[in-house]
């Protein structure tokens, strides 16, 4: 029996972009979810209880202090695709019985020409890049509700953000830059580069964009846009944009069954210019992220033989004991870790789910050397399993 604990700095990867349409920048909220840095994986002797412990919730992982426990998947469950019996429940909105019910009752779903949606996404991009704002945000995931203070400003042409958690463990993050680095921040503007890396046309081949209607968020009128997946290999996204400014006021990640897995929503918004003092850290242990430099990418000895259509490599990073590869289709994103496995870990397979984030672990052997494969991201569980099973050495 094996217990595996993932701990360490996280690799922020949520982002979306539409050639400067940071749809993702705010689409999947600040806390979308981060991938754990695999070069700090700790292993426990096989005599330990059969549990997979993951510090992977974006809001929790920022401090590396909170973990989610899920039983290692049994062979039968693996075969028929059932989730572990004690996996954390998804957030289910009682009103969400299908993708048609993701907005307020008065909203009307209307499929519109792509250029109309693009106009709103362009407005979103402009808002994220140029607006200064502050406010209170609620983040709902895995049965938890957290409250955050978000401050966003522009200094010398660069975005600066401070995010402070007002509930749970004290956490604070300050980020500089627009997210071109390998590590991404946790605010609406943190999702501003992957869409550009993948390309808007590619994103539209994977998702159908629909103008869903209107609703009211934080005492402001909002326009609701849905990014509906064209296949079952990715999650859906619903974003409510401020009608006046284009700023994302609410974002939801939605399962293939129409369940709301994560919800990020402003409850108070102030659009007045931000003072420099408001960007200063409140706590002495605030985490800082610098996104002003480009993300280095290298070649990996591993290949992924199957990917959902539209997903492509956006970053490859060598680790001390393996490789890390980041993939995105412009909206969805996941990370693959391939690492040498210690001799004390013979059998090793498991799965954990928290909110919209799934982590799937498998094992393979190459030339007598054991490796662990970990797929972590905001993708359906079945997608993570299939990606993991397709990993092979190049050549």
Q: pLDDT (tens digit, 9 = 90+) per residue, 239-286?
A: 999 999 999 999 999 998 999 999 999 999 999 999 999 999 998 889
For residue 116, what are its two tokens?
Answer: 């109309």
**Separation between Cα atoms, residue 289 and residue 270, nearest integer Å:** 24
pLDDT in tens, 70-107: 333 333 333 334 333 333 333 334 334 344 444 444 44
Backbone dihedral region for residue 76 (phi beyond 0: left; psi -120 to 50: alpha; all else: beta): alpha
**Separation between Cα atoms, residue 27 and residue 209, nearest integer Å:** 13
**Separation between Cα atoms, residue 130 and residue 124, nearest integer Å:** 10
pLDDT band for position 348 (50/70/90)? low
**Separation between Cα atoms, residue 162 and residue 176, nearest integer Å:** 9
pLDDT band for position 116 (50/70/90)? confident
Range with the poorest average pLDDT among 2-16, 128-142, 300-314, 340-354: 2-16
Residue 173 has what DSSP assignment? E
Paired with 366 in beta bridges are 369
Residue 107 has what DSSP assignment? -
**Separation between Cα atoms, residue 57 and residue 141, nearest integer Å:** 9
**Separation between Cα atoms, residue 332 and residue 240, nearest integer Å:** 18
Residue 108 has what DSSP assignment? -
Rg, C-alpha atoms of the chain: 20
110 CB burial (10 A radius; 0-12, 13-18, 19+)? exposed
Residue 295 has what DSSP assignment? P
pTM, two decimal places: 0.69
* Alpha-carbon torsion (26, 31, 35, 36), positive or negative: positive
Cβ atoms of 335 and 343 within 8 Å: the answer is no
Domains in the chain, CATH or no CATH each: 111-290 (2.50.20.10), 302-393 (3.30.200.100)
For residue 174, what are its two tokens?
Answer: 């300050």
Backbone φ and ψ for 382, nearest 5 degrees, come out as -60, -35
Q: What is the dihedral of CA 126, 132, 133, 139, to 10 degrees?
A: 50
Which single residue is written with the structure tokens 């689409």?
A: 27
Average confidence (pLDDT) over 162-187? 75
Residue 99 has what DSSP assignment? G
Alpha-helical segments (H) within 184-227: 194-198, 200-206
pLDDT band for position 224 (50/70/90)? very high
Nearest to 269 by CA among 252, 287, 234, 245: 245
């Amino acid at each position: 029996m094996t217990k595996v604990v993932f701990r360490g700095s996280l690799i922020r990867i949520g982002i979306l972009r539409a050639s400067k349409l940071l749809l993702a920048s705010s689409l999947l909220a600040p806390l979308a979810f981060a991938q754990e840095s695999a070069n700090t994986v700790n292993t426990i002797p096989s005599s330990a209880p059969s549990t997979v412990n993951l510090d992977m919730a974006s809001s929790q992982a920022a401090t590396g202090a909170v973990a989610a426990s899920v039983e290692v998947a049994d062979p039968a469950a693996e075969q028929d695709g059932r989730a572990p019996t004690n996996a954390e429940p998804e957030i289910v909105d009682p009103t969400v019985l299908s993708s048609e019910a993701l907005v307020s009752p008065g909203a009307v779903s209307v499929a519109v020409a792509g250029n109309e949606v693009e106009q709103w996404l362009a407005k979103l991009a402009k808002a994220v890049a140029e607006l200064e704002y502050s406010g209170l945000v609620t983040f709902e995931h895995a049965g938890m509700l957290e409250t955050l203070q978000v401050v966003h400003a522009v200094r010398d042409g660069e975005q600066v953000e401070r995010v402070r958690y007002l509930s749970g463990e004290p956490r604070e993050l300050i980020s500089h830059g627009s997210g071109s680095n390998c590590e991404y921040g946790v605010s609406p503007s943190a999702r501003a580069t992957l869409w550009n890396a993948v390309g808007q046309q590619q994103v539209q081949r994977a998702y159908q964009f629909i103008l869903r209607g209107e609703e009211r968020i934080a005492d402001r009128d909002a326009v609701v846009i849905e990014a509906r997946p064209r296949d079952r290999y990715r999650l859906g996204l619903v974003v409510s944009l401020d009608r006046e400014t284009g700023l994302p006021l609410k974002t939801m990640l939605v399962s293939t069954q129409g369940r709301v897995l994560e919800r990020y929503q402003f409850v108070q918004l102030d659009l007045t210019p931000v003072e420099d003092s408001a960007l200063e850290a409140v706590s002495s242990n605030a985490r800082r992220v610098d996104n002003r430099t480009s993300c280095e990418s290298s070649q990996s000895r591993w290949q992924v033989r199957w990917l959902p259509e539209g997903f492509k490599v956006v970053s490859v990073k060598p680790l001390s004991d393996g490789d890390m590869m980041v993939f995105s289709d412009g909206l969805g994103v996941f990370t693959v870790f391939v690492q040498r496995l210690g001799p004390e870990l013979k059998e090793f397979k498991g799965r954990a789910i928290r909110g919209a984030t799934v982590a799937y672990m498998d094992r393979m052997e190459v030339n007598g050397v054991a490796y662990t494969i970990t797929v972590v991201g905001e993708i359906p569980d079945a997608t993570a399993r299939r990606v993991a099973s397709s990993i092979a050495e190049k050549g």
